[in-house]
């Protein structure tokens, strides 16, 4: 039971890290697009 729980927690942490990474990439992309439009 404890092993399963630990594995689940590790999986959730991995998911959160992946989502956070994707979110930061998307935000950086948005910033680049905004700056690009401001330059025009």
SS3 category, 40? coil
Euclidean distance between CA atoms 20 and 27, whole angstroms: 10
Euclidean distance between CA atoms 25 and 10, whole angstroms: 23
- What's the domain count of the chain? 1
pLDDT per residue rounded down to tens, the chain (40 residues) = 577 788 899 999 999 999 999 889 999 999 988 888 887 5
Q: What is the pLDDT of residue 13?
A: 92
Q: What is the pLDDT of residue 40?
A: 59
pTM: 0.50
Q: Residue 10 is part of which domain span?
A: 1-39
SS3 category, 1? coil
Euclidean distance between CA atoms 34 and 29, whole angstroms: 9
């Amino acid at each position: 039971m404890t092993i399963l729980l630990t594995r689940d927690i590790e999986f959730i942490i991995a998911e959160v890290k992946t989502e956070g990474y994707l979110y930061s990439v998307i935000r950086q992309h948005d910033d680049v697009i905004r700056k690009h439009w401001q330059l025009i």
